[in-house]
Amino acid sequence: MSVQPILEVEGLSKHFGKFVALNKVTTSFMPGKLSAIIGPNGAGKSTFFNVVSGAFPPSEGRLKFNGRDITGLAQHEFARIGIAKSFQITNLFKQLSAHENVRVAVQARHARYQIFKPRAAMTEVADRASELLERVGLAVHAKRPASELAHGQQRALEVAMALAAEPELLLMDEPTAGMSPEETVVMMDLITALAAERSVILVEHKMKLVMGICERLLVLHHGEFLAEGTPADIKANADVRRVYLGQG
C-alpha cells in the first residue's frame, strides 16, 4: 500500500532578478518523518524554506501538500491547511507574557470559527495555551514577559505558537541558531519529541546536529539539488563529502 507524500516539490526555482537562488529542485517528503534540508552557507536553504512555507512564491515549479496543489497560495492560508513554521529570527510579542503570546496564537487559530465567543470558549483558549507551554517545557515561565526569557526559551515559545495552529507539517528554520550547547540539547530533544507526533522538516547548516536525529536529509548546493537519503547515505556520498563535509 503506497503512502502519499505530505509535501511534494516539483521543479522548484526562485529567482531574484538575475540571481538564481533555487534551480529546479524536485523532491518529496513522506508523512510522519523528521527530515532536514542541509548545505553550506549560500546553498539556498533559507530560500527553499521561504518558498515551501509560503513566504515567497516560486518563480517556477509546483508545490503540493497532501496531493493538493498549493503553488502561489497566500501565506496565511498555509497555517489553515496544516503547515506551520518557526523562523530563525524569533517573532514574538516581547512585552507580553509567554502565556499571552501562545494565547494570541491559539485565538488566531479559532477566530474564524466564532465571532462572539462565550466565556467558556475563552477558558478553553487559555487552557490550550497552558498545554502548549507545558509541551515545550515553559510552563514555569508562563507569566514572564517574553523579553525576559533566554534565547533558547524564546525559540521554544515560538515553537509553542506554531503548534497552536495544530499543524500536520512543522517547518523549522535553523531552530538552534544562536543557542548555547545546553540550549541546543534541549531544543533537539523537543524536536525529536514533536516529530513523533507530526511531520517535521528542519533547515539547518550544522550537519552533525541533524545526523543523529533525522531519518532523511536533502542536501542543497548553490541552489541546486545535490543529494538525498538517510544519514548513512549522505555520509557516504562523495559529492556531499567534497562540497560540505570537507569544510570541517
* CB of 227 closer than 8 Å to CB of 234: yes
Asked whether residue 221 falls in the same domain as residue 185, the answer is yes
**Core vs surface per residue 106-141: b (16+ CB within 10 A) or e:** bbebeeeeeeeeeeeeeeebeebbbebbebbbbeeb
* CB of 15 closer than 8 Å to CB of 219: no
First-to-last C-alpha distance (Å) of the chain: 42
Mean pLDDT computed over 76-81: 89
Nearest Cα to Cα of residue 33 among 195, 158, 233, 144: 195
In a domain, 87, yes or no: no
More confident residue, 155 or 91: 155
pTM: 0.89
Return the pLDDT at 115.
Answer: 47
| 69 DSSP β-pair partners | 64
Please report which helix (H) or strand (E) contains residue 160, including its range: helix 151-163
Asked whether residue 172 falls in the same domain as residue 78, the answer is yes
Answer yes or no: is pLDDT of 112 > 60: no
- The dihedrals phi and psi of 230, each to the nearest 5 degrees, come to -70, 165
| Number of independent structural domains in the chain | 2
Return the pLDDT at 42.
Answer: 87
Whole-number mean pLDDT of the chain? 89
Structural domain boundaries, residue 135: 92-166
Asked whether residue 70 falls in the same domain as residue 122, the answer is no
Asked whether residue 184 falls in the same domain as residue 147, the answer is no
Neighbours of 89 (CB within 10 A): 10
Grid coordinates of 189: 530533544
